[in-house]
C-alpha cells in the first residue's frame, strides 16, 4: 500500500517538465479540462489526485481542495496556492456528504484499481445537481495502447514502436504504474450507480506522434480522443424510480444477452436441436428452484400485497411447468429418465446460489433479483421480434419469442416492475445502490447461463 501512495514521488519535476516540453499537447488538455469543469464561479470543487496543481494554476483555484497521494507532487501544488485537504488515497479519506459542487479526477483514475467504490464515495460527497468528472487517457485509445505496449516491453525502444513515438513521450515509469480503464467501463460503472445524464468531450484525436504539432479544439464525444472527459451529473431529483435505475444499469449486459449466439440462432432458426434440448432441461431445473426461491422471498414479505403477488407467481410458474414446459420437453423427445440423469451446469448452480443468497433478506432484494430474469426475457424477445419478425415467423423456435411478448406475460412483467418500484419508494441510497448491484449481477449470470447452453456439446 505504501508504494501505491507514492507512485509519483521522485517524479514530480518530470511530470511538469513533460507538459512544458509538450506545450501544444498541454494546451489541448487544458482546453478539455476547462470545458469539462464549465463555469466554476462560486462553486466548491474537489480535485482527486491533484498532482502538482499544474492544471489548476491556469484557472481560479480559490475554491478548489485537493487530495494527493504523493507528498512531492502535493508540495508543488501547495506552492501554487492549492489547498491540500489530505495527503493519501481517496479510498482512505473520509469525505463529508453533499459537500462539493464538482468532484473531478484529472488523469488520476488511471492509477486506481477499483473505481466503483471511489465513484460511490464521490457521489455521496457530491451535492445534488453536481458533476462528477473523469478526464483521462482511455485504455482503448492510441495513447493507451502505446503505454501498455511500452509497459509490456519495459521500454519504448522496441521495434513495435519504432518510428511512431512522439518526440517526448510520457515517462515510462509513470505509464507503467497505471491501471488503464476503458471509457465504456467507466460509463457502465456510473450507470450502475444510478447516473443517467452524461456529457462527453475529447481532444488529442490525432495519433500520438502528431498531437504536439498544434493545440486542438475540444469536440464532443469519446470514441476518437486520446484524452477524454466523462461528465456525470448527479440529478437533483432523488425520487427516480428504482426500475429506471435498474434498466439503465443492466442495459449493456442485456444487449450482450440479446446478441448471444444461442438467441440469434433461435431467431433465424439455425439453432441445433441438441442445444435447444439442453436449454429446455436447464430451464426446467431453474424453474423448479425458482419456485423454492419465491417461497423464501415470501417468508420475508411484510405486506399482503407482496405475499399475494408471490402466490400468484408461484402458481403461474407451476402451471407453466406442468402444462407448457413438460409437454414441450416431451414433444422434442426429452424423457423423464433423461431429466433424472441430468443436472444444472456450473453456471446454473452459481446463478441459483446467488439468487438464494440475496433472497434470504428483506423481500425487496429477492423481488429485484428475480425481476431481472422476467424482464430480460421480455427485452430479448421484443427486441428480436421488432427487427427480425420475418425470420422468426419461419423459425422452429417462434413460440419462444411469442411467449415472452404475449399480452399476459407483458402484463405480469409490468406488474412486477410497478410492485418493485412501490416497495423501494422509501429505500435509502445505500439500499438502492445494493439493489442495482444485485440486478446487474443477475444480468451477468444470465449471460453465463446462455453461454453454457450454447456450449453444451
**Chain region(s) in the chain for CATH 3.40.50.150:** 2-233
Confidence (pLDDT) at 305: 94
Q: Which CATH superfamily is domain 2-233 in?
A: Vaccinia Virus protein VP39 (3.40.50.150)
How is 394-428 classified by DSSP, letter by letter?
Answer: TSTTHHHHHHTTSHHHHHHHHHHHHHHHHHTTT--
- Entry pTM: 0.58
Neighbours of 252 (CB within 10 A): 16
Task: Give the Å distances, CA to CA, from 379 to 254, 280, 410.
Answer: 8, 19, 10
CB 238 within 8 A of CB 419: no
Fold type of domain 242-454: Heme Oxygenase; Chain A (1.20.910)
Grid coordinates representing 213 are 504539432
Q: How many helices (DSSP H) and strands (DSSP E) are in the chain? A: 19, 8
297 vs 363: CA distance, rounded Å:
5
Closest by alpha carbon to 214, among 22, 427, 414? 22
Confidence (pLDDT) at 44: 96
CB 237 within 8 A of CB 221: no
133 vs 138: CA distance, rounded Å:
14
457 vs 453: CA distance, rounded Å:
9
383 vs 377: CA distance, rounded Å:
10
322 vs 220: CA distance, rounded Å:
55
Confidence (pLDDT) at 250: 93
Confidence (pLDDT) at 6: 46
299 vs 307: CA distance, rounded Å:
8
**Chain region(s) in the chain for CATH 1.20.910.10:** 242-454
Tell which phi-psi region holds residue 192, choosing left (phi > 0), alpha (psi between -120 and 50) or beta.
Answer: alpha
Confidence (pLDDT) at 12: 66
Please report where in the chains the cell 473523469 appears, as a residue. 134
* Helix, coil or strand: residue 125: helix
pLDDT of 279-312, one tens digit each? 999 999 999 999 999 999 999 999 999 999 999 9
Confidence (pLDDT) at 417: 96
Please report where in the chains the cell 424482464 appears, as a residue. 375
Q: How many Å separate Cα 29 from the centre of its chain?
A: 26
Closest by alpha carbon to 453, among 317, 234, 272, 316? 272
Residues in the chain where the model's pLDDT stays below 70? 1-13, 236-239, 457
Amino acid at each position: 500500500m505504501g508504494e501505491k501512495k507514492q507512485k509519483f514521488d521522485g517524479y514530480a519535476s518530470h511530470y511538469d517538465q513533460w507538459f512544458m516540453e509538450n506545450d501544444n499537447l498541454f494546451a489541448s488538455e487544458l482546453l478539455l479540462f476547462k470545458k469539462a469543469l464549465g463555469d466554476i464561479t462560486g462553486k466548491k470543487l474537489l480535485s482527486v489526485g491533484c498532482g502538482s496543481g499544474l492544471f489548476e494554476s491556469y484557472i481560479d483555484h480559490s475554491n478548489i481542495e485537493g487530495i494527493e497521494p504523493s507528498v512531492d507532487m502535493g508540495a508543488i501544488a501547495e506552492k501554487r496556492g492549492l489547498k491540500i485537504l489530505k495527503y493519501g488515497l481517496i479510498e482512505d479519506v473520509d469525505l463529508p456528504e453533499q459537500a462539493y459542487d464538482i468532484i473531478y479526477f484529472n488523469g488520476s483514475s488511471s492509477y486506481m484499481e477499483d473505481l466503483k467504490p471511489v465513484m460511490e464515495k464521490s457521489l455521496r460527497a457530491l451535492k445534488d445537481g453536481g458533476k462528477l468528472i473523469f478526464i483521462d487517457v482511455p485504455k482503448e485509445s492510441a495513447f493507451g495502447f502505446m503505454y501498455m505496449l511500452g509497459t509490456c516491453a519495459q521500454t519504448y525502444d522496441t521495434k513495435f514502436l519504432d518510428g511512431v513515438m512522439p518526440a517526448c513521450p510520457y515517462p515510462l515509469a509513470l505509464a507503467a504504474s497505471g491501471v488503464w480503464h476503458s471509457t465504456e467501463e467507466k460509463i457502465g460503472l456510473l450507470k450502475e450507480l444510478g447516473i443517467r445524464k452524461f456529457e462527453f468531450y475529447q481532444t488529442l484525436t490525432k495519433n500520438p506522434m502528431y498531437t504536439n504539432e498544434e493545440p486542438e479544439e475540444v469536440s464532443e464525444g469519446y470514441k476518437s480522443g486520446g484524452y477524454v472527459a466523462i461528465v456525470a451529473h448527479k440529478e437533483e431529483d432523488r425520487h427516480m424510480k428504482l426500475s429506471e435505475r435498474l434498466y439503465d444499469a443492466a442495459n449493456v449486459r442485456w444487449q450482450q444477452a440479446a446478441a448471444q449466439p444461442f438467441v440469434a440462432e433461435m431467431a433465424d432458426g439455425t439453432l441445433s436441436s441438441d442445444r435447444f434440448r439442453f436449454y429446455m432441461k436447464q430451464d426446467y431445473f431453474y424453474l423448479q428452484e425458482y419456485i423454492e426461491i419465491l417461497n423464501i422471498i415470501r417468508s420475508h414479505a411484510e405486506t399482503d400485497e407482496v405475499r399475494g403477488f408471490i402466490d400468484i407467481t408461484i402458481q403461474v410458474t407451476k402451471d407453466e411447468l406442468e402444462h407448457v414446459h413438460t409437454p414441450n420437453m416431451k414433444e422434442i423427445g426429452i424423457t423423464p429418465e433423461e431429466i433424472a440423469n441430468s443436472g444444472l451446469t456450473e453456471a446454473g448452480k452459481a446463478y441459483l446460489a446467488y439468487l438464494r443468497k440475496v433472497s434470504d433478506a428483506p423481500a425487496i432484494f429477492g423481488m429485484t433479483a428475480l425481476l431481472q430474469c422476467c424482464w430480460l426475457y421480455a427485452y430479448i424477445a421484443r427486441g428480436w421480434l421488432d427487427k427480425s419478425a420475418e425470420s422468426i415467423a419461419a423459425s422452429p423456435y417462434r413460440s419462444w419469442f411469442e411467449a415472452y411478448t404475449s399480452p399476459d406475460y407483458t402484463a405480469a412483467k409490468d406488474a412486477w416492475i410497478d410492485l418493485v418500484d412501490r416497495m423501494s419508494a422509501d429505500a435509502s441510497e445505500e439500499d438502492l445502490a445494493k439493489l442495482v448491484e444485485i440486478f446487474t449481477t443477475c444480468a451477468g449470470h444470465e449471460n453465463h447461463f446462455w453461454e453454457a447452453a450454447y456450449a453444451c456439446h
